């Protein structure tokens, strides 16, 4: 871990997902990427819509759900991630129903048959009280009998190696994009980890652009998340590892996939 001192509050808003971050997200995880697409297509396909994807971002999950004919709405706080989502939907002739808002503030008139928060995004709500309030808001926004899906990384993610590192991608136009990542805060009591990700664009051997992302995540204990779901009013809570429904959760799972029901 780097010994960089605490970040000044104005260095970058936390979990901003700015322009370069959104560009890299789509290069790294285009629509349809990762192992949760079939899991969600099958689970939502059995339920009645409309559905809501919290923090839908660039549409990695939402685009294949719309292509499957599912009525999915979404919200995200990053205009840059939503711009990528719009571009992906336009390319495919899909109509989007997304709003720019946050886990902390979202409010919709309709009630949903299911709400999904995939790929660990819920950990970006990095304060316990705010996260508990978001779960209560999910509960309010579900129809009786509606189902919540939240995938979170295990508590061990806080100290998972490597804590620091460099990753790179080449854009279609030949630019090199790099992320240089350093963990700058690790608070095991608050279950919170903060990293500084420096996004760099290299062209013709020159650094032509850079942006700083400060990412803060709060990880959960398994029982802690279950109890917080219960406190928010949910019942029939189940969890599996890595989208393998019906299989016992093992210690090496990379995602804990929770499902919970709003009593009918």
Ligand X SMILES: C[S@@+](CC[C@H](N)C(=O)[O-])C[C@H]1O[C@@H](n2cnc3c(N)ncnc32)[C@H](O)[C@@H]1O
Positions in the binding site for ligand X (CB under 6 A): 15, 17, 29, 55-57, 60-61, 76-78, 81, 102-104, 118-119, 121, 124-125
Smallest separation (angstroms) from ligand X to the CB of 259: 17
Residues 209-222 as b/e (b if ≥16 CB within 10 A, e otherwise) read: eebebbbbbbbbee
User: Nearest approach, Cβ of 6 to ligand X (angstroms)?
Assistant: 20
Alpha-carbon gap, residue 219 to 120, rounded angstroms:
9
H/E segment holding residue 179: strand 176-187
Asked if 2 and 186 touch (Cβ cutoff 8 Å), the reply is no
CA distance 163 to 156: 12
| Beta carbon of residue 164, minimum distance to ligand X (angstroms, whole number) | 19
Residue nearest to ligand X (CB): 57
| Smallest distance from ligand X to CB 125, Å | 6
Nearer to ligand X, 77 or 139 (CB): 77
Q: Which is nearer to ligand X, 14 or 202 (CB)?
A: 14
With respect to ligand X, which residue has the nearer C-beta, 33 or 163? 33
**Looking at beta carbons only, is 7 or 202 nearer to ligand X?**
7
Q: Which is nearer to ligand X, 125 or 232 (CB)?
A: 125
Nearest C-alpha neighbor of 118 from the set 52, 36, 220: 36
Minimum CB separation from ligand X for residue 155, in Å?
A: 18
Question: By C-alpha distance, which of 83, 142, 163, 149 is closest to 119?
Answer: 149
The secondary element (H helix, E strand) that includes residue 116 is: strand 112-117
């Amino acid at each position: 871990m780097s010994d960089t001192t605490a970040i000044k509050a104005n260095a970058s808003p936390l979990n901003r997902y700015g322009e370069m971050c959104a560009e890299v997200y789509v290069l790294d995880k285009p629509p349809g990427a990762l192992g949760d697409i079939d899991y969600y297509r099958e689970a939502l396909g059995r339920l009645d819509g409309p559905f809501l994807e919290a923090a839908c971002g660039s549409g990695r999950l939402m685009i294949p759900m719309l292509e499957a004919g599912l009525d999915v709405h979404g919200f995200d706080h990053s205009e840059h991630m939503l711009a990528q989502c719009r571009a992906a939907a336009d390319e495919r002739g899909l109509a989007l129903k997304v709003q720019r808002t946050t886990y902390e503030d979202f409010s919709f008139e309709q009630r949903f048959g299911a709400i999904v928060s995939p790929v660990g995004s819920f950990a970006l709500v990095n304060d316990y009280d705010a996260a508990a309030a978001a779960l209560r808001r999910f509960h309010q926004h579900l129809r009786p009998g509606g189902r919540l899906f939240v995938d979170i990384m295990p508590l061990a993610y806080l100290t998972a190696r490597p804590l620091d590192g460099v990753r790179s991608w080449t854009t279609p136009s030949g630019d090199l994009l790099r992320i240089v990542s350093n963990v700058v805060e690790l608070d095991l009591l608050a279950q919170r980890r903060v990293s500084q990700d420096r996004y760099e664009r290299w062209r013709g051997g020159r650094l032509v652009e850079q942006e700083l992302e400060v990412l803060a995540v709060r990880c959960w204990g398994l029982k802690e998340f279950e109890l917080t779901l219960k406190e928010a009013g949910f019942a029939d809570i189940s969890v599996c590892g890595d989208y393998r429904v019906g299989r016992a959760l093992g210690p090496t799972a990379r995602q804990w996939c929770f499902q919970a029901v709003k009593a009918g």
